[in-house]
Amino acid sequence: MTYASAALESLGALGDPTRRAIFERLAAQPSAVVDLARGLPVSRPAVSQHLKVLKEAGLVREISHGTRRIYSLDPRGIGAMRRWLDSHWTSALDAFRQFADEYPEQEPDR
Amino acid sequence: MSIAPVLHSVEVKAPPARAFELFTSHMGKWWPKGKTLAPNPHADIVMEPRPGGRWYERDAAGNERQWGKVLAWEPPGRVLLGWQLNGQWRYDPDFLTEVELSFAALAGGGTRVTLEHRNLERYGADAEEYAGKLRGGWPTFVGHFAQYTDNQT
């Protein structure tokens, strides 16, 4: 999968308002399903289903704490967007360095 | 949650004042062709040299596409830009991520140019609207970009 398409998939998963609400809550604080369901107008199974979609999109990850499963944001998901920009700036700065180093020193500005 | 900023630096032979000038006022000359927003190649990329100044590309026919704005203009050491292209690579006045450039003198007379693109977590907040637009078909630019990234890997 390309960086760009991974980024698109991640962002597409956030198109659903409930998933977006879950995502925002997890951004504020890693939580268990029960905690997430408490603050949302949807059932626990529905929250679990949304978490599954977010997990598959690489946006959320799950860590076991004893018997509890704690969900938090997965930096890798949004990382696709970051890598997108990273690759973009790498080539832009490279182009700048080449341009600046070849630019005649004495030429008047503009 | 915040996402680690994109951070890059390059060294150029020119001193900071010159590097600053080349970077900001000659952007249209060094920016890779075809890596812009408009379907037509850019004739120039303009950064109006003052806080609040616009940052935009212009094609040969004079059509403009805004990228963002200048937040701080401090030659020769620093320029802070607002990159206002959302996840769909469209200008959005309500969306902003920061791109900071610093120009530091090197012992040999050159300059270390450091770029930091931060606030990337804001792309998460942009996602809902973005996803809605996607349902209407893939934007051309994203297609171009996907092709570009494919060629990089």
**Structural domain contains residue B1:** no
pTM beyond 0.95: no
Range of the domain at B145: 6-152
Give residue B54's region: left, alpha or beta (phi > 0; psi -120 to 50). beta
Neighbours of A84 (CB within 10 A): 26
Element (H, E) at B99: strand B97-105
Kindly give the pairing relationship between strand A60-65 and strand A68-73: antiparallel
CATH number of the domain within which A61 lies: 1.10.10.10
Asked if A15 lies within 8 A of B131 by C-beta distance, the reply is yes
Q: Which of A47-51, A85-89, B24-28, B121-125 has the lowest mean pLDDT?
A: B121-125
CATH number of the domain within which B57 lies: 3.30.530.20
If you average pLDDT over every residue of chain B, what do you get?
Answer: 80
**Structural domain contains residue B148:** yes
For B:121-150, CB contacts with A below 8 A are: 121, 123-124, 126-128, 130-132, 134-135, 142, 145-146, 149-150
Pick the residue from chain B with its C-alpha nearest to A7: B87
What is the per-residue pLDDT across A69-88, written as a single tens digit (0 to 9) for each? 999 877 655 666 677 688 78
Higher per-residue confidence, A29 vs B84? B84
Higher per-residue confidence, A7 vs B67? B67
Tokens 């920016």: give the residue. B31
- For the question of an ipTM over 0.85, the answer is no
Range of the domain at A25: 3-102
What is the per-residue pLDDT across A87-110, written as a single tens digit (0 to 9) for each? 789 989 999 999 999 988 755 554
Q: Which two tokens stand for residue A46?
A: 């529905």
Higher per-residue confidence, A82 vs A4? A82
